[in-house]
Amino acid sequence: MTKYFSTTAAVAALLASTAAFAQAEPVFNRVASFPVAANTPESIDAKAVTSAEIIAATEDGNMLVYTSSPLKAIGLIDITDAKAPKALGSVMLDGEPTSVAVTGGKALVAVNTSESKVKPSGKLETIDLASKAVEATCDLGGQPDSIAVSPDATFAAVAIENERDEDLNDGVLPQLPAGDLVIAPLKNGAVDCAGIKHIVLTGLATIAGDDPEPEFVAINSRGEIALTLQENNHIVIIDGKTGAIKTHFSAGTADLEGIDASTDGKLDFSEKKEGIPREPDAIKWLGDDRLVVANEGDYEGGSRGFTIFDTTGNVLYESGASLELAIARIGHFPEKRAKSKGVEPEGLESFEIDGQKYFVVLAERASVAAVYKDTGAEPVLTQLLPSGVSPEGAVAIPARKLLVTANEVDLIEDGLARSHVMIYEMAEGTPAYPQLVSEGKDGTVIGWGRPVRSGRGPGKARLPLCRLGLGLWQPAGDLHHRRDPYACGHHRQARG
């Protein structure tokens, strides 16, 4: 039976969170932010657009590796001291990096080298993180998107998207060549190029079955690969050892109640949409028998939340509009995106700290990371963390109780916030954010944004705000009482 998270429950959970956390509940708070422009090589203009998209960590948890497609590079960050991240420079690539995974001291980087949409190409590069040298290159036979390494480090899986041209025929599928899945054997972090297998995915999805566009991969402890076909609104599970397709199913649709579906300059959460294709982007395993997907949407859908499936396609839980409404209550709802896909959940991370399982949903258009406790049944929203502009990737380092987000948008050309990597640490205490929450009225959500003053009448102090760009603002803390070093993501980089 599908379980839905009600609007009332979402409101109650967020309101109760501050009281609960006051009782020494472990919480995440941001301890540092790293401007990725600090890794720009001296030979490149310091004002060149950079990005942090997909991010991974070394096994010891002391180094972060992220992709920057505008720079055509991967960037490295030393987080031996998580509160004082240090730039380790960039490794320049001959192409656009789309994803990265780390194993055995090596970075496995999927690189898009396509000449055009109709002539897609790509490669898998193995980079030694100590020397920053490219040690090996494998031809992938198409344009890659996501990469993941199996928990036993015996193989990597790469989604070969061969993405469509959105300007051709209004982006309607099919647009060949079709995408597929690459399985690459690994030995001590080295890729066996000769052993690469291509898994054919045509004929599975009901939507454009002859043109699958794989988006994101995840691998469980059994070596099973979960794969989203976003534009096809489909999910496939593959045996990573044999390459056999074990099962596949449609991601289905969701009905949304109590949403703002009109870009009209006001926040009105009284509308609804029915039968919206989920079109999931990221996918993560919750154990070995459940999957969570972020329903960003791309082609015709996007249901503004997340869904938990079992491995046969049964919906175990549907978030509906609850995440978006919780985000609206802290002033992060992007009204300009109301008529489209709202907050656009895109990225995911799942992990366990001190015996408690969690997953995190990244709301790209709201610049928020939503932390949920994974109960095995209905998940519990515990925190909404302020991220940088447009979080796309996240990685948890459970042994150090750290969570890291990579935020892709660099607004240097508008004189606004630059792309940052945000670092959060879990500890007992109270959450520093949000500082303002709308309580709503009679169970309804009252959205807000960009307040001018903290009160009415003469003599009332103005509330300092951070302009994130994309129509988003967030409170920067009460600067009359303390200086918030993390305001707007402009945390000064500590120097060692």
Number of other CB atoms surrounding residue 93 within 10 Å: 22
Question: Omega of the bond prior to 434 within 30 degrees of 0, cis?
Answer: yes
Does pLDDT of 11 surpass 80? no
Q: Is the pLDDT of residue 487 over 60?
A: no
**Amino acid identity for residue 254 in this structure:** A
Q: How many CA atoms lie within 13 A of 110 on its CB side?
A: 32
> What is the predicted pLDDT for the residue at 435?
86
Let me know: does 492 contact 85? Beta carbons within 8 Å: no
- Cα 382 from Cα 166, distance rounded (Å): 37
Cα separation, 450 vs 432, in Å, equals 19
**Which pLDDT belongs to residue 78?**
98
Per-residue pLDDT at 480 = 25
Compute the distance between CA of residue 375 and CA of residue 96 in angstroms, rounded to an integer. 38
pLDDT of residue 486 exceeding 90 = no
pLDDT at residue 490, as a whole number: 35
The answer, yes or no, to whether residue 366 has pLDDT greater than 70, is: yes
- Side-chain-side CA neighbours of residue 325 (13 Å): 30
Interior/surface letters 207-236, b for 16+ CB within 10 angstroms, e for the rest: bbbebbbbbbbbbbeebbbbbbbbbbbbbb
Q: Which residue has the tokens 């789309």?
A: 98
**How much is the average pLDDT of 152-173?**
94
**Where residue 9 falls among pLDDT bands split at 50, 70, 90?**
low
Buried-exposed string 339-364: b where 16+ CB fall within 10 A, e elsewhere: eebbbbbbbbbbbebeeebbbbbbbb
Q: Which pLDDT score is estimated for 31? A: 97
Task: Report pLDDT for 477.
Answer: 32
CA 489-491-494 angle, to 5 degrees, is 145
pLDDT band at 189; cut points 50, 70, 90: confident
Q: Which runs of consecutive H residues, i.e. helices, occur in 221-338?
A: 322-329
Q: Report the distance separating Cα 102 and Cα 108, nearest Å.
A: 6
Which tens digits make up the pLDDT trace of 274-321? 999 999 999 999 999 999 999 999 988 999 999 999 999 999 999 999
pLDDT at 66: 98
The segment with the largest mean pLDDT, out of 77-86, 170-179, 477-486, is 77-86
Average pLDDT on 236-241 reads 98
Q: pLDDT of 312-322, one tens digit each?
A: 999 999 999 99
Summarize pLDDT for 415-450 with one digit per residue, the tens: 988 999 999 999 999 999 998 899 888 878 888 876
Is the pLDDT score of 392 beyond 80? yes
Beta strand pairing call for 180-187 and 155-160:
antiparallel
Residues 349-377, mean pLDDT to the nearest whole number: 97
Fold of 3-453: Methylamine Dehydrogenase; Chain H (2.130.10)
Q: Could you tell me the two tokens for 132?
A: 């920053």
Residue 175 · residue 121 · CB < 8 Å: no
User: Distance between CA 284 and CA 220 in Å, rounded?
Assistant: 9
Instruction: With beta carbons less than 8 A apart as the criterion, state whether 413 and 365 touch.
Output: no
Q: In whole angstroms, how large is the CA radius of gyration of the chain?
A: 22
Separation of alpha carbons 461 and 91, rounded Å: 47
Sequence-separated (6 or more) residues with CB below 8 Å from residue 446: 267, 329, 438, 439, 440
Please check whether residue 282 is in contact with residue 302, taking contact to mean a CB–CB distance below 8 angstroms. Answer: no
> Among 17-21, 334-338, 399-403, which is the least confidently predicted range?
17-21
Residue 88 has pLDDT above 50, yes or no: yes
pTM for this entry: 0.90
Higher-scoring residue by pLDDT: 224, 171: 224
pLDDT tier, 154 (very low <50, low <70, confident <90, very high otherwise): very high
Round to whole Å and give the CA distance between 130 and 147: 21
* The residue type at 148: A
Mean pLDDT computed over 244-259: 97
Which DSSP category does 193 fall into? G
Query: Tokens in use for 313?
Result: 């396609």
Judge whether residue 475 has pLDDT over 90: no
DSSP 3-state of 253: strand
Contacts of 45 (CB under 8 A, 6+ apart): none
Residue 3 has pLDDT above 70, yes or no: no
Locate the domains of the chain by residue range.
3-453
Residue 275 contacts residue 253 (beta carbons within 8 Å): yes
In the chain, what is the straight-line distance between the N-terminal and C-terminal CA atoms, in Å? 54
Rounded CA separation 268/35 (Å): 35
Q: How many other C-beta atoms lie within 10 A of the C-beta of residue 300?
A: 14
Amino acid at 401: K
Q: Provide the pLDDT confidence category of residue 188 given band limits of 50, 70 and 90.
A: confident
Structure-block tokens of residue 281:
């982007």
Name the residue type at position 409: V
- Please compute the mean of the pLDDT values over residues 52-71 and round it to a whole number: 98
Res 484: pLDDT:
33
Average pLDDT, the chain: 88
